[in-house]
Amino acid sequence: MPGSTDGLSVCGPLPAGRNKRLLTVEGHFFAHSRLEMFQVLKQDGQSKARLGRLTLSHGVVDTPAFMPVGTAATVKAMPHDYLESLDSQIILANTYHLYLRPGDERIARLGGLHKFMSWTRCIVTDSGGYQIFSQRDLISVSQEGARFKSHLDGSRHFFTPEKSMMVQQRLGADIMTVLDECIPYPSTHFEAAKSLELTLHWAERCKRSYSTQMSGRQALFGIVQGSVYPDLRQHAVERLQEIDFAGYAIGGLSVGEPKELMYEVTAQCGELLPEGFPRYLMGVGTPPDLLECVALGVDMFDCVLPTRNARNGYLFTSRGRLSIKNACYAEDVRPIDERCLCQVCRRFSRSYLRHLYMAGEIVSSVYNTLHNLHFYLDLMAKIRESIASQNFLEFKRNFLGEYCSEDETVRSRDISSI
């Protein structure tokens, strides 16, 4: 194999001057970042899907994994013990929101985010970039950073790559992400290229700040931007690998682009990103999206869909999404999903859950969220089982063959060869 050294097979040459260790992956050895270990346990024989294990400061994460979104140090409407009962190994918290309230310095004084929220498992923090660039009160962006107004009180703030690293260090997440600029779809090639150069400049500064300040207990992921342009995505991957991160996120998708374009960009990034490192697709997605993108080699996902949909009365089932507020469920004694083994489906009827939602009962959001997160996390567990048993594509086809929703009809299709 290329890059063989001292009798060991290495996936590609070791970058000069890098302090790397070798990681065993299905009999091969991969150059790996010094901060955490990612192990590929099984590779699907008919797609890019892979079964993995990510070892972090606060535990092990089995991949492919879905990470519930806990924006303000809590997954909305979801007590921690419920999350733990669902075996949620990792959640995502929001740097921007926690910086503004209650403040990263306060959280640090109280022992860090894990202790503050009494969560003993793993946490990822985003950089705050998406929230800064998606809000209306953005003031200006420069090579130095981004100036913006707080959506809470109008106070002015300045986020630099170094400050994003400092805030995330104080929070103490297991995985941090670099500050990046998020642009809308559609954007011209010129706009996307200009934005990408800024993101790569910030990534270098994040890495320098991280290398000199971090304690070694937090991993740093780079973020691949470049809109829907293949040449820009390739450039991003190449530069980020030169900078050297512990893992790589795919950003800038699920922002309004056509679904097939999202899959094409994800497929390209899956081909380009190094094998021995975790791949994280940010902000995606629906149950079919998870299956399609696992087939393209993605290891980690986060999305507000299961929790936000739950609070708005939309529940995921093996046959698609249903709206519990519809009148047809007023006397429906069936569970949400007759195949589901969650606490809600084992105990409550659609009729009762509709009543709770229509009456505005707080517990409606709790039950709906519990069910939706069970559905997502159970789907990921079944995906992992299917990869382990080498029947992932069969599982994928069967799932998509039955799954439909009020918004779309999804039929089994194999895009693993994109």
Which residues are the active-site residues?
A: 126, 302
Record the tokens describing residue 418, joined without a space. Answer: 């994109």
- Strands 65-67, 300-302: pairing is parallel
Q: How far is CA 346 from CA 319, 331, 334, 349, in A?
A: 18, 17, 10, 9
Containing 125, the helix (H) or strand (E) segment is strand 122-125
- CA 147, 249, 87, 254 dihedral sign is positive
**CA angle (293, 294, 297) in 5-degree steps:** 90
> To which residue do tokens 């099984």 refer?
42
The Cα–Cα gap between 234 and 137 comes to 32
Record the tokens describing residue 11, joined without a space. Answer: 């996936």
Angle subtended by helix axes 350-358 and 362-388, to nearest 10? 130
Of the candidates 160, 167, 228, 255, which has an alpha carbon nearest to the alpha carbon of residue 198? 160
CB 288 within 8 A of CB 410: yes
**CA angle (33, 35, 39) in 5-degree steps:** 65
* Edge-to-edge strand list for the sheet holding 65-67: 65-67, 300-302, 279-281, 247-250, 219-224, 175-177, 122-125, 90-93
Record the tokens describing residue 262, joined without a space. Answer: 């999202």
Hey, which bits of 26-116 come out as E strands? 28-32, 37-43, 50-56, 59-63, 65-67, 90-93
In a 3-state reduction of DSSP, which class is residue 90?
A: strand
41 phi and psi, to 5 degrees? Answer: -90, -35
Record the tokens describing residue 44, joined without a space. Answer: 């699907």
The Cα–Cα gap between 189 and 206 comes to 25
Specify whether the backbone of 145 is left (phi greater than 0), alpha (psi in -120 to 50) or beta.
left
- Strands 28-32, 59-63: pairing is unpaired
Cβ neighbours around 49 below 10 Å, total: 27
CB 95 within 8 A of CB 138: no
